[in-house]
A and B are shown apart, each in its own frame.
Chain A
Amino acid sequence: MSQAALQKLKERFPDAVTQTYTGKGGDDVALVKKEAIAEVCRFLKEDPDLLFDMAPYITAADYMGSEPRFDLVYQMYSTRKNHRIRLRVGVPESDPVVASVTPVWKGANWYERYCWDMYGIRFEGHPDPRRLYMYEEFVGHPLRKDYSLRGRQPLMPERTVDEPFRGPGPTGG
């Protein structure tokens, strides 16, 4: 809902922003190259005319069979300017690594972990790159279209966890 923001973004990053369009219901969308996403996000957050200060909602979609296979979606909102835009970033299956925007917005943390967990997109520079919902032994990424709806995984033996603060002796010391 902000043509002006898109225009400004396109002027600032003529190479990284490959396309802009107004989608269904007036959603303003920009297609951004994968390599530039962290820089674009920092600009969007800090530019005084744009000020997308609120952490975006980040999700992904799997367009299996087309290239690039994955589509990362950043749904942005500015509390200062009350405008929204959406960034879409194509991520190829062969190199599913994107720069993390958690250093830009702290609130991106779990959304990026979600995208790793569900789609297998890795985020470089993420402070805590674990899975979000599934356990670490889980194999595969459930929201990929080639993951079976009824996919079953074997039960895992219980993990043994060392007590990090335990001193010597049987009861700690």
Chain B
Amino acid sequence: MAKDSDNLLPVHAAPAESPLDAPFPSKRMLVNLGPSHPAMHGTVRAVVELDGETIHGMKLDIGFLHRGFEKTCENVTWTQVFPYTDRLNYVSSIMNNVGYAMAVEKLCDLEIPERARYLRVITSELHRICDHLTLVSAMGLELGAMTVLIYGMEARDLIWDRLTELCGARLTSNYARVGGVSRDMPDGWAEKVLRTLDRSAEMADEIDRLLTRNRIVIDRTRGTGVISRADAIDYGFTGPCLRASGEPYDVRKASPYLVYDRLDFEIPVGTNGDNFDRYLMRMEEMKQSDRIVRQCFEQMQPGAIASDDARFVLPPKPEVYGTIEGAMAHFKIIMEGIQVPPGEAYACVEAANGELGFYAVSDGGGRPYKLGVRAPGWNMLMALPQIMEGHMLADLIPTFDTVNMIGGEVEQ
């Protein structure tokens, strides 16, 4: 008996002529992902060439959400551009407002009051938390962890409730103005924000406990969607995606704007440049943003929230209704737009996804002559075909999540 079984060959060593051994005929296949696909975050179309489940080639087709942002901005006054910038990255609109306002202020050579700077930082960092919560919970959802989305959305909406009390809208905040911000904090707002931050930090911890050591999440994200530090720089990555690859570039530290030089916070830096590191960057940055907001509330003093330079900022309402000069100044700014001195300037801020830059050109009139947007998501999306080459189709989904392409800003 023992001798007979020795002669039996294991199945996998059967002669190649066996029909069981015939290779599986695989045919290259083109798959269209999007433009309307729940995991394609808006309206990106990816054409993927598959061999089995492996991606052999990928081309991205964007523009389905192109709304002519630049053309529109060239035809409205400088102030009217603010609502359009809200719709670039609609999850963290205040950072877009601030970036654009800083570009115009650079052209106008305008200093803004201290309190306005703090308010811009506070609202930007609150929105950064919102943006990162969205990313983390959407990633959880798409990897099958629906609960995470519910926690994330609850925390995000709490913060949006506070921002609604400040600027009247959840998403389209339209908060910054050339020369300052549009509204001061309502009474008791700081305490409410601190309570909200406590609650949202609890939720973020909950998400952390659900995801960070979760076997499935680790298997799906660690080692997938890898980009090296050199490639990330070469592609122009910025923000958490660049830092996950090990390059500690952050506009807030590299060229501090507003009051970031007075605040104590750290920049998390990853090592592997994979989806898991990009996720971890977001989790840590939320904690740092929390710290920044708390410090701002401690440091800020009462004062003006907008510059009093009558060339660029609307006069106070009592003057508009009470004096002819005030009424005229108001009328001219509203009807003709602020007269920005001719020239060109580039200003950038660290938005939730990286360096958000505005290149503004003025011909001296009331409207932008040219307004270019360096959207951070652009570079990350551009690199996707290279990142995904030779990897599984299923890995495309978490990679698409962690590069956090926002259709509004990429497709303008």
Contacts and interface: CB of A to CB of B under 8 A. Distances in A.
A125 interface: no
Prevailing SS type, chain B contact patch: mixed
A106 B370 contact: no
A1 interface: yes
A130 to B, nearest CB: 9
B374 to A, nearest CB: 4
30 contacts: A24-B106, A24-B107, A24-B109, A25-B345, A55-B234, A57-B236, A57-B359, A59-B359, A59-B370, A59-B372, A61-B361, A75-B359, A79-B233, A82-B254, A84-B255, A106-B234, A106-B382, A106-B386, A107-B234, A107-B235, A107-B382, A110-B378, A111-B378, A118-B70, A133-B62, A133-B411, A142-B71, A143-B71, A147-B71, A165-B27
B234 A105 contact: yes
Contacts of B378: 110-111
A24 B358 CA distance: 14
Contact of B382 (A109, A131, A134, A167): A109
B147 interface: no
Interface in A40-85: 53-57, 59, 61-62, 73, 75, 77, 79, 82, 84
A75 B66 contact: no
A163 interface: yes
Interface residues of A, number: 41
Contacts of A53: 233-234
Contacts of B63: 131-135
Contacts of B75: 149
A107 B379 contact: yes
A57 B372 CA distance: 10
Contacts of B249: 54, 79
B408 interface: no
Given A106-B235, A165-B28, 19 more contacts: A1-B255, A23-B344, A23-B345, A24-B344, A25-B347, A54-B234, A55-B379, A59-B372, A79-B249, A106-B234, A106-B383, A106-B386, A111-B378, A142-B68, A142-B71, A149-B71, A149-B75, A165-B29, A172-B27
B240 interface: no
A86 B372 CA distance: 14
Given A105-B236, A109-B382, A25 B106 contact: yes
Contacts of A24: 106-107, 109, 341, 343-345
A168 interface: no
